[in-house]
Structure 1
């Protein structure tokens, strides 16, 4: 019960933070803001779900999902912290930055490590949705079961779709960066030859 109350508070604060960041010009995808608002709703539904047979059947799976979700959040934190550290070392960010806009080619390696773990988490959301959907046919099922099922399915579809759409953008940014580097190198070579001739 205390953990579910914590989740409501956590997702409320993240939603408020992201709204402030968006108002200050952040380019955060709309889905991630919506995801955290829906997560607040889902946590609230789970918080008021009374002790019942259906809750008892789902509780263990929900615990494992949350353990995996914490692991994913830790991996994302390490990725973000590593990217910020490198940008600070390169002098492209200062100590007060807490997030990154844009993408550098060297970030691709960390992202490709992270992606399989993310998709496993999204699959876990689909499994939660299906298990809850099946539990909704239980004779003593309350409205909490089907609402949670729908929300987990929305999380699965939204997270998967948004991540699949973001990856090609990251690849394009990487290609643009490589093109700029190649163009700069070519310009430097041509410029050196012109200087030698002149």
Structure 2
């Protein structure tokens, strides 16, 4: 008798659980249906406001007939920029139409949506990117420095193949990681210039090809490895420049966010207000680095043409280095010109007492 009562209680309890599961399913379906309707309504409002901001920005940009006073037009344009930052930097940003992910992300991750719906997750992605850049800048500086020091102290001026190929494999990993992170940041609303992502694509190709580059030893090791030595020296300079850029850009980004001139997801490619001392130090280093990069590329092309090192990898890496140097120089100049125009615009918008 006791066993039958226990079985009946268990049966009743299972029945209650099944009924609760059905009720919970109905409640969840109702909630999702209501939330979906509210979501679509809010999404339409966000898209409509974004369209209005773009339309007004276009009207102000093409103020050809001077319908508005230039100072008033500048003020209205700044107000529009602040309004857009409020919208795209807050919770409403998750309702904006997502940017296309591109073939690079699809190739590595497949058709997965990498847009974060919550702002705190987006900011964590950006902070992880900044941390990754800081770590890699240090390795970019110390890894080639260690190879060059060991070359002089231990390896009698002739680099062995394995450590050089290990460094090139690390470069391939580094640039692939940067390209993935930057594509994800762009999908989540960052303003990274496309060139810097293309630059990392070129660097990935160069690292991949250089892995197949035979590092020849004696005889004439110094002459045959001249390009490798210059490349390692350029990498050390690149590490110094990356450390300075990371520090400078982060300081400027904090200022622009506080002024409502940038979004928290932005990764600054061209600062619109600067610390002149840091900028005067950073720009010459960048231009010297770009010139040295082009010099290394031309040297590799020269060694390929005169037959000192005639492998196709040398020719390919030389072309890529020259291409990246020219692209970096052009984008740096564009950044400085944009900075100069913005400062001139800010001066025009101020009154004489403020100046």
- Normalized against structure 2, the TM-score is what? 0.46
Cα shift at 1:184: 9.7
Confirm or deny that 1:67 pairs with 2:67.
no
Where 1:111 maps in the other structure, the secondary structure is: helix
Please give the TM-score of this superposition, normalised by the length of structure 1.
0.79
Hey, which of these two has a bigger chunk of helix by percent? Answer: 1
Is structure 2 residue 267 aligned with structure 1 residue 99?
A: yes
CA deviation digits over 1:145-183, x for unaligned, max 9? 000010011011111111112211111112222333438
Partner of 1:182, secondary structure, is coil
Counterparts of 2:267 and 2:186, CA distance in 1: 12
Ranges in structure 2 where 5+ consecutive residues have no aligned partner: 1-164
Are 1:121 and 2:289 counterparts?
yes
| CA distance 1:182–1:3, change in 2 (3 Å) | farther
2:177 aligns with: 13
Alpha-carbon distance between aligned partners in 2 of 1:184 and 1:38, rounded to the nearest angstrom:
50
In the alignment, is the contact (CA less than 8 A) between 2:303 and 2:309 conserved in 1?
Answer: no
- Does the 8 Å CA contact 2:171/2:207 hold for their aligned counterparts? yes
Paired residue for 2:57? none
Instruction: Name the structure 2 match of 1:45.
Output: 209
The SS at the match of 1:132 is helix
How many equivalent residue pairs?
Answer: 184
Tell me which residue corresponds to 1:28: 192
1:58 aligns with 2:227: yes
Instruction: Kindly indicate whether the alpha-carbon contact (under 8 Å) linking 1:104 and 1:177 is maintained by their aligned counterparts in 2.
Output: no
- 1:131 partnered with 2:299: yes
CA contact (8 A) 2:301 2:315 kept: yes
Structure 1 stretches of 4+ with a deviation exceeding 6 A read none
Of 248, 262, 278, 1:110 maps to 278
User: Which sections of structure 1, spanning at least 5 residues, go unmatched?
Assistant: 187-198
- Higher relative contact order, structure no. (Cα contacts within 8 Å, ≥ 6 residues apart): 1
Q: Which of these residues, 144, 147, 167, is aligned with residue 313 of structure 2?
A: 144
Q: CA RMSD in A?
A: 2.9
Matched, 1:78 2:242: no
Which residue of the other structure, out of 324, 343, 353, is the alignment partner of 1:174?
343
Q: 1:103 to 1:178 in 2, by over 3 A?
A: farther
Q: Deviations over 1:42-65 (max 9, x none)?
A: 111112211226752322111111
Q: Is the 8 A contact 2:192 2:267 kept in 1?
A: no
Larger Cα Rg: Structure 1 or Structure 2?
2
The separation in 1 between residues aligned to 2:337 and 2:247, in whole angstroms, is 23
